[in-house]
Amino acid sequence: MELKVYFHACTFTPLGTLNTMSTNRHFELKVPGGKLIVVDIDVDSDNTISNATISGDFFLEPEEAYDALSPALVGLTTASSTADIQSRLDAALQRVDEPVALHGFNTQHLATTVKRALSGGTDFTDHSWEILRPGVLPTPVNVALDEVLLNEVAAGKRGPTLRFWEWEDKAVVFGSYQSYCNELDQEGVDKHGIIPVRRISGGGAMFMEGGNCVTYSLYAPESLVAGYSYEASYEYLDQWVLAALSKLGVNAWYVPINDITSDGGKIGGAAQKRRQGAVLHHTTMSYDIDANKMLEVLRIGKVKVSSKGLASAKKRVDPLRRQTGVPRKEIIDTMAREFATRYGAVDAALSDATLADAHRLVDTKFLTDAWTKRIP
């Protein structure tokens, strides 16, 4: 049976449902490694879908399967979840007499596109991005900048921004909800002169020495992830990273919720914080980790691998230095170019006022025991 590609749009409007007060919602989603999905949806004043159009360069058979998709969306509301939408689509396809084949997309991708349209979702290319590379800063300042820049985006004082971290000190940056004593070995912290810094996002601890990791932060309006599940938003926000790593010869992918791994092993992990309509997404990838020192500083490393032994513990993270064979700066340069090429980002400078706000936050929050040991 010949597969057909649909570049046209098929619209379904039930008789008697045309509402002059309806508004149109549009969204386009390029499936990673797949095809383009485009949806146009008319939403009535009661927030109900009255009309739907689905198009794209995807493939599917039989023809009746395509004809079943748009009508399945009518009657859903803006409050419908992605799971509800997918359930409607799956049920419609199950009623098709012949076996259905979807290529380049699936009903989850289509449901996500619909939800993104209903939620007012935006794409990276809908925004004007800036890239910040402010140079070497103390780790507590880097952590404080995450809160300052997130607040600036939330307040509309700053547009979407990508920032690369640089540091020369030795620190452990650990999750907002982790216990200090459970995660850090105080003897190792004292022995190696480690600065413990609790960040504002959840997730696990990161052992950070100057030059041993690649760390970046994204600050954006929450519309950028509108319609995505919390889990799916991680991979979406780091698609450009996976593409950059591919250009460096690393075949990398996401392992839910927040790990980036490769053929050689785990590379790193991400974390998020959302507030007042903005999202912070930051990721750390290992470049040249001293595994022995890491295990002396982090208790969590011992617990997670206790059943596998020390040899396995040292292999949990596979550094990018070994996988790429290039200097750390070249990796960051490649990532910055990939982001700028994809999304039209431009280089920018960190203002003195923003940096001063971060330093004040270090003194009043991030280096205080009240914050650092808020969960003893």
Q: What is the DSSP string of 173-212?
A: EE-TTS-HHHHB-HHHHHHHT-EEEE-SS-S--EEEETTS
Taking only the tens place, the pLDDT of each residue in 271-297 is 999 999 999 999 999 999 898 999 999
Q: What are phi and psi of 66, to 5 degrees?
A: -65, -40
Task: List 301's β-bridge partners, or say none.
Answer: none
pLDDT at 317: 67
The two beta strands, 10-12 and 49-56, are antiparallel
Show the tokens assigned to 103.
């290529």
Return the pLDDT at 1. Answer: 33
Contact predicate 88/123, CB 8 Å: no
Domain end call among 86, 118, 150 = 118
Q: What is the pLDDT of residue 312?
A: 41
Residue 86 near residue 111, CB atoms below 8 Å = yes
Cα–Cα distance measured from residue 270 to residue 215, given in angstroms and rounded to the nearest whole number: 10
pLDDT number for residue 22: 85
Q: What is the pLDDT of residues 152-177, one digit of tens each?
A: 999 999 999 999 999 999 999 999 99
Query: Model pTM?
Result: 0.89
More confident of the two residues 19 and 197: 197
Q: pLDDT tens digit string along 53-72?
A: 999 999 999 999 999 999 99
Residue 185 contacts residue 299 (beta carbons within 8 Å):
yes
Residues 67 and 178 in one domain: no
Q: To the nearest whole number, what is the mean pLDDT of the chain?
A: 91
Residue ending a domain, among 118, 141, 167, is 118
CB 221 within 8 A of CB 160: yes
Whichever domain contains 207, its CATH number is: 3.30.930.10
Residue 202, amino acid: G
DSSP state of 287: S
Domain count, the chain: 2
Residues found in the chain: 376
- pLDDT mean over 242-263: 96
- 133 shares its domain with 22: no
Does residue 5 lie within any of the structural domains? no
Query: Which pLDDT band, with edges at 50, 70 and 90, does 308 fall under?
Result: very low
State which residues form the domain around 33: 10-118
Q: Is residue 100 domain-shared with residue 140, that is, in the same domain?
A: no
Looking at the fold, whether 103 and 33 belong to one and the same domain comes out as: yes
User: What pLDDT score was predicted for residue 300?
Assistant: 63
